[in-house]
Chains A and B, each alone.
Chain A
């Protein structure tokens, strides 16, 4: 097959600009072949090269603490958790595929992130996700929402990894461009983890797993442009997942890694064979010669270009120790998977691709990849003009509601606040029998078999805060994730991030991005939770507007003793309810402001990191002393919604509460304020004095609120609702909307 002639126009059609095309000409000192152009275009796409983000990402704390493998070094970060074990975890976006094909888009998002974990030699133990959609009142949103949830469920359920936590938000800003972020967590013996490296001249290179087809060609490029009406036509760029094959690939991969027959292994996600061959070669300062005739294909007549760019799922590239090929093949045969030698490691430092008797590409891997010769840009930035308006919002102009109880009912039944049981009951949250605390609480808690420890994990980001104040909002995202871990009895270890933003070539978007990274760096340094890696997703824009800047934080914490595990719901009648932390009547970006007054305005709440850290240390100390019966952080919907949740999160044993909340200026403000660094705890009456003396000793501010008990939920003289009523709102709002025929 004759390849088209490569010109600047063709390069631009591939998403490269003139500067980048000239750079290619200079690197090669000749015009690239069509196949070579294809490889450059995907490797230098935003998705693979991080060209507009890497300079800023490097300012994040990426080492220290218990980090064994830092960000960007391997497929995922690795953190020491003692007992000779390490935890590998990472979050990744699959936004654009999910916008045009929600089911497969979300499913392959899960598949991709799982492969990142088990290519490290780690067995995946948990899956989380962070989802954002437009208004749930919109029929297309409901179609996307239902499809994404089913896609995540079907993939994870079949693959056999429990989906244990996450978040779902609805906001008009995501109307044309939903966000689907998937996170995976795995466990590996400390010295047994695998590397994504190719080295040792003559070592065979193998492709294993599924056959290669035309699906997903240019998926990485598709992810690196704005969505438009034409995006529907790019549905073929969406890959198709097969969790059954991935399950076999998991077992086979772990078996060969454990046996020590490998030099390196990398999964094939974005940019398929192009990415895995070049990245592995670059890491090992090696070259690679491969013959595409050996690649098992699922379609006839595929060109070298197509094979190199295919994003067919459930494939891996392995570099095997010379002499161990047959043993590796035997394992893959046992699991009924393809395993073919397609080439070998060379020492000339070039990637050479042959197909049908011709040399199709000869490229220097170094120049193709992130951290090598891929372009690095810093974009122009400018503070967005909307901030001038939102910042000066006058809260005293808000009308005072007459009936607080009615307001509470409305805020508490917001789809952003109510239970996401409709979602998580579609996920197998218990397979692998490690799930001690599943979805529905502050963070999930996963037992580590053979130890007395568990991992706590959570994703968090309130994007409205980030929109109103990118730096402060991102600090809050980190702080809230840590707070959730602490409420579960865990010590925050490290984070992974999924940075969902608009088009970085727009100065206001780049400003948001810059500020968010500043905030994240500051908070992560403060909490000593380094960034283990993650993913940047730009171009999240629909024809109308960019999404809210959404830097999702995935955090993992360690529960050093199972007795420290704490849950968010009230336990016994008569227990005392306290608030740790203080209210400052902050309504900016609050759920109350949005639901009742239809506004997203003001500044985000402020966060004082030392105050937050003191809160974490105080609570963990009280938990260790066995003084805390329940702990739940105050977030969207303020203290009123937080307390209501404490009453009904345990459906098996709902408990009422009667509390008095101190009103600073207005009841609506104090009840729905989203001031940070606050946690509601319950304590046995026997421990009252000891508990209070401890808090005074720590210098931790606290307020007594009231008592657990009765059949109703009562705040001051304003709210008095039966538990059945609030649980109906909490558990039936989303099912009712999803089952309606609107």
Chain B
């Protein structure tokens, strides 16, 4: 195969994409996972509690509840999130993208915080990301590529954690992605938003919850000449079912 990565043919996993009021990457995630990558996908309404037997939950990007109060702060209290938190605590796979990452932090499923970008401006552009951990189920098997090219689009993506949390993240190999140069050089010059240590994505200790600011769902379709995002989705599916 090409850059889409290899695909397990064993079983079709079911994805559930949560729809909060103000989610605006929900349809993009659905399209990428269902129409392009051909997985089964259900939308999950924020007022419901049924996860519809999903194997993987996606918390999509957007501005849930208008991002009023604080990004992700209100979404965290929606009925569906109680189910998502239970699901995650039992080892279920959850991927929070952009606003979804912010919600995961508010829900306490991941440590740290996302502050306003250091420029105080919204930033939308393609960035390079160095994959820092190839052992996680979200990244294991991504061959050939050490650097992913994915878009970011956020106003609050400046990752912060206190010293102890950072140390823990590093010690446990929980940092999955860092902003980098095209060749994988992680330095301040390639940090788009002021994130601590260029952190762009982290997993929980158990390795079943990933939060990331870049948008893999925007990078699955050859028509848009961007496909690196599919590497993450396909890696996850292969790793869960192999």
A residues at B contact (CB < 8 Å): 150, 153-154, 157-160, 242-245, 247-248, 335-336, 424-436, 447, 449, 562
Contact = CB atoms under 8 A, between A and B. Distances in A.
Contact of A433 (B63, B123, B125, B221): B221
Contact of A426 (B62, B121, B217): B121
B21 A336 contact: yes
Contacts of A426: 121-124
A436 B223 contact: yes
A430 B122 contact: no
A730 to B, nearest CB: 16
B108 to A, nearest CB: 24
Which of A150, A153, A425, A562 has most B Cβ within 10 Å?
A425
Interface in B55-91: 61-63, 65-68
A431 B66 contact: no
Given A158-B22, A158-B66, 12 more contacts: A158-B63, A160-B25, A160-B62, A160-B63, A243-B63, A244-B63, A425-B121, A425-B123, A425-B125, A430-B218, A431-B218, A447-B224
Contact of A428 (B65, B122, B224): B122
Given A158-B63, A244-B65, A429 B124 contact: yes
Nearest to B149: A652
Nearest 10 interchain pairs by C-beta: A160-B24, A244-B66, A158-B63, A428-B153, A433-B28, A428-B124, A426-B122, A244-B22, A153-B122, A426-B121
Nearest to B36: A433
26 contacts: A150-B121, A153-B122, A157-B124, A158-B22, A158-B62, A160-B25, A242-B66, A243-B66, A244-B66, A245-B66, A247-B21, A247-B22, A248-B21, A336-B21, A426-B121, A426-B124, A429-B124, A430-B215, A431-B24, A431-B61, A432-B28, A433-B28, A433-B32, A433-B217, A433-B218, A447-B223
B27 interface: yes
Contact of B124 (A159, A160, A242, A425): A425
Contacts of A158: 22, 24, 62-63, 66-67
Interface in B20-69: 21-22, 24-25, 27-28, 31-32, 35, 61-63, 65-68
B216 to A, nearest CB: 11
A434 B223 CA distance: 9
B151 interface: yes
Contacts of B215: 430
A159 B24 contact: yes
* Dominant secondary structure at the B interface: mixed
B151 A430 contact: yes
Nearest to B123: A425
Contacts of B122: 150, 153-154, 157, 426-428
A429 B35 CA distance: 21
Nearest to B45: A334
A429 B153 CA distance: 9
A159 B21 CA distance: 11
Nearest to B153: A428
Interface in B147-171: 151, 153, 155
Nearest to B28: A433
A426 B153 CA distance: 9
A53 to B, nearest CB: 36
A558 B11 CA distance: 40
A107 to B, nearest CB: 13
A314 to B, nearest CB: 11
Given A242-B66, A244-B68, A431 B28 contact: yes
B121 A430 contact: no
Contacts of A154: 122, 155
B24 A436 contact: no
B77 to A, nearest CB: 14
Contacts of B68: 244
Nearest to A154: B122
Contact of B21 (A150, A335, A434, A449): A335
Contacts of B61: 431
A157 B151 CA distance: 14
Contacts of B225: 436
Interface in B211-242: 215, 217-218, 221, 223-225
B3 to A, nearest CB: 16
A430 B65 CA distance: 21
